Structure 1
């Protein structure tokens, strides 16, 4: 859509295209997250053992179910690019919006870097299996990020249609491995003896510590909100796509834990780089190995692809609203994509992908996500208080309010403790970074923000104002 009321001498203001449906939202949410079943989650097993890994899986699943319900209600009502950033802008205020925008960009950019690292590691592993050792991973990491950035540059419909196909293949690969093992295809039987002989090797503190990486099963499902301005029917597509996505991930996460814990000793599983692919190798079935290699590749590509989409939308929205230089708020005249934001974030992702270890990158992404989830608890309470149910039309109303908000806040607080146990330095560094960024925004950038242009929703005056 083109705004014809432009000032003389200024370029026409282009907007993003509304071309997506519920399946694309599902593909965006699950595509970003499904890589968490293929790598990263298993570090939770290393922290506390098999039972700790399962508890972390389900507790994190409860946390993200609350996230999905809250996001579905607010974003189906605040249907604007930027997701949680747009929510904060309308409901809380500019400083919170700026921080939430940074949370989103950092979480997705770090996740994108982790995906690129995994692709390089997987290719190196497969090359080693064929007798070709010493593969240089860096060119493949760069090629992956550059290709997906180009795909995002060319258009959102093609980007998320690509995600839909490869995400479906990666999800079916998990199901195929689960069923194959259940019906005796594996040459190695499932063995859960460690559950009875040594169920909690590090006690309850191990279970708490494991929650840190349990979040990796689902991290990024909230990214469905970033497409709010590009769906044909936000009130229908966003809730359906998001809730279907979290149900898909809960099933995939449980099956992943079951197969990997049954085939791989927990001591090795807790440090494996590609646990599902390793589980397929243990079966001795070449067909399963090929399938899970493809599934791992597709899941990492889908995740990195979705991360570029989401991070660029958040950055674009902040530029459009002058929270960042307005140069970032440009839309491509042909492809209708936030092309400058896409290009700008590519080198940032590559710096971390080429220069940081996987567990550190994963931790940075998780911490940024946790800060965003903590914001959602206060945001939801303020949203219901300012605009009660009968004052504005909502696309979805999540049940049992405020119980999901309370549960989410408690689980977030628990997760902070879990992260601090193993990565306290990173936690302090990330919080310090956001404090410094907030000071920069308050003293240097806030004067460029046009407060009158921030509130774009046709809502009545808030209750009490």
Structure 2
């Protein structure tokens, strides 16, 4: 039984931007602590270039390889089983860790909201009662994904648009076009406090502005017109995020000291910026926007992680039990349910900055694969040999730029989280050995090549 083809460009935009927009409300600010306000701004635009390359490359390959699994499905066709297995794991861990970070924020925000509405009642709450709000939100979103992709991404479109609108409302509320109204950039901003090494270190969390936009690829098997919907939804999504990232930095760094923004315990800079305006309306709008962004991100992550896990089960990279499709809702329900406890454990037990780092590292490994993938793809099937939904321009410049930026960002992660980076690399090496020795025997190589293409050039 196959997944339903019911999605259009709006749903692709809602999936990509919905996953990522939470990065404008929280997480990016840890980069300010690494490199100062200007260091974080430089990182935002450098990483924005990285993700523009990701969006261009993904739009071409995914609109051509229109199958659930995104980059995992691409790796099957261009490189081989071992690479595909690793890419599938990169995707699942990146989305599952991001989902865990999102629901942790949701739980804490709900408890903060209760404290704002009823301070006396909030005082009764145990310090860790946010756990229950986290689990409830995770269960609700799992149910929503279980019931169908069209409803899931329609909801995502509504709450993502509302979250993006809240950033615009804050901009107009503080008269962002007038530097002398409420913004105080001249008094708050300093030079690079840690030099250019700090700028490189801040690249690590600059990724949080955009991490997950490549998740639009997971909808490839469920869109009505992959050649149109995927490039349109992905490219408009990255444009939306570039605008949101610029506004976020401009507003937060114009109203809050950079030392406070980069503080490890600072949860939601835009919400805090709204609070100091003295406007209850702006405070309420930004609280709702922050909450909606985290919910939308977790919702999209459940969708994407389950599709990647489902695809690996369908190809026997994992037990075929995970490839089941619900007979009524036509969703990969077993994969959805299986990954929820993993996200819950990390959300409840691991600090936010570490969860973010786990997600970023898995995402970076995936982005490092993309230049290799597009080089192989263009070499095996040159332009004109097969029909493409989109052809990204200036090849191979985007692939070269993407590889250089990925390697630089790995160094940035190593500066702050070297042990986690080495531990993740060791994990992927060990799991690759396990796959080669134990699981590869179940893979059906002939069943993987689902595209009706001519024989690759040179083969």
Q: Which residue of structure 1 lines up, in the alignment, with residue 49 of structure 2?
A: 62
Matched, 1:155 2:158: no
Unaligned 5+ segments in structure 1 are: 1-13
Out of 405, 422, 427, the residue aligned to residue 428 of structure 1 is: 422
Q: Which residue of structure 1 lines up, in the alignment, with residue 278 of structure 2?
A: 284
**Residue pair 2:99, 2:297 contacting (<8 A) in 1 also:** yes
Matched, 1:244 2:236: yes
Out of 208, 215, 229, the residue aligned to residue 216 of structure 1 is: 208
**Residue pair 1:185, 1:283 contacting (<8 A) in 2 also:** no
**Residue pair 1:18, 1:231 contacting (<8 A) in 2 also:** yes
Matches within 5 A, 1:175-190: 175-182=168-175, 189-190=182-183
Q: Which residue of structure 1 lines up, in the alignment, with residue 454 of structure 2?
A: 460
Deviations 1:190-228 (A, max 9, x none): 1113566x3111111110100000000000000000000
Matches within 5 A, 1:10-29: 14-29=1-16
**Structure 1 consecutive aligned stretches of length 4 or more whose deviation exceeds 4 Å:** 183-188
Q: Which residue of structure 2 lines up, in the alignment, with residue 8 of structure 1?
A: none
Task: Tell me, in whole angstroms, the C-alpha distance in 2 between the residues paired with 1:195 and 1:414.
Answer: 29
Task: Tell me, in whole angstroms, the C-alpha distance in 1 between the residues paired with 2:416 and 2:88.
Answer: 26
Matched, 1:82 2:69: yes
Q: Which residue of structure 1 lines up, in the alignment, with residue 83 of structure 2?
A: 96
Q: Which residue of structure 1 lines up, in the alignment, with residue 347 of structure 2?
A: 353
SS in structure 1 of the partner of residue 141 of structure 2: helix
Out of 317, 322, 331, the residue aligned to residue 328 of structure 1 is: 322
SS in structure 2 of the partner of residue 229 of structure 1: coil
Task: Tell me, in whole angstroms, the C-alpha distance in 1 between the residues paired with 2:213 and 2:383.
Answer: 25
Q: Which residue of structure 2 lines up, in the alignment, with residue 11 of structure 1?
A: none
Matched, 1:315 2:309: yes
Out of 178, 184, 191, the residue aligned to residue 191 of structure 1 is: 184
**Residue pair 1:188, 1:283 contacting (<8 A) in 2 also:** no
Question: Root-mean-square deviation (CA), in Å?
Answer: 1.4
Q: Which residue of structure 1 lines up, in the alignment, with residue 32 of structure 2?
A: 45
Task: Tell me, in whole angstroms, the C-alpha distance in 2 between the residues paired with 1:199 and 1:71.
Answer: 36
Task: Tell me, in whole angstroms, the C-alpha distance in 2 between the residues paired with 1:354 and 1:300.
Answer: 16
Task: Tell me, in whole angstroms, the C-alpha distance in 1 between the residues paired with 2:262 and 2:110.
Answer: 20
Out of 114, 136, 146, the residue aligned to residue 143 of structure 1 is: 136
Shift of 1:278: 0.7
SS in structure 1 of the partner of residue 84 of structure 2: helix
SS in structure 1 of the partner of residue 205 of structure 2: helix
Residue range with higher mean Cα deviation, 264-273 or 339-348: 264-273
Deviations 1:366-385 (A, max 9, x none): 00000000000100100000
Shift of 1:183: 6.0
Q: Which residue of structure 1 lines up, in the alignment, with residue 371 of structure 2?
A: 377
**Residue pair 1:312, 1:345 contacting (<8 A) in 2 also:** yes
Task: Tell me, in whole angstroms, the C-alpha distance in 1 between the residues paired with 2:60 and 2:12.
Answer: 15
**Residue pair 1:39, 1:273 contacting (<8 A) in 2 also:** yes
Task: Tell me, in whole angstroms, the C-alpha distance in 2 between the residues paired with 1:80 and 1:207.
Answer: 38
Task: Tell me, in whole angstroms, the C-alpha distance in 2 between the residues paired with 1:393 and 1:215.
Answer: 32
TM-score, scaled relative to structure 1 = 0.95
Unaligned 5+ segments in structure 2 are: none
**Residue pair 2:16, 2:216 contacting (<8 A) in 1 also:** yes
Shift of 1:120: 1.7
Q: Which residue of structure 1 lines up, in the alignment, with residue 96 of structure 2?
A: 109
Deviations 1:406-438 (A, max 9, x none): 000000001000000000000001111111110
**Residue pair 1:91, 1:383 contacting (<8 A) in 2 also:** yes
Matched, 1:201 2:193: yes
**Residue pair 2:175, 2:182 contacting (<8 A) in 1 also:** no
Q: How many residues align?
A: 451
Q: Which residue of structure 1 lines up, in the alignment, with residue 21 of structure 2?
A: 34
Matched, 1:254 2:246: yes
TM-score, scaled relative to structure 2 = 0.96
SS in structure 2 of the partner of residue 283 of structure 1: coil
Matched, 1:71 2:37: no
Matched, 1:342 2:336: yes
Matches within 5 A, 1:439-454: 439-454=433-448
Q: Which residue of structure 2 lines up, in the alignment, with residue 7 of structure 1?
A: none
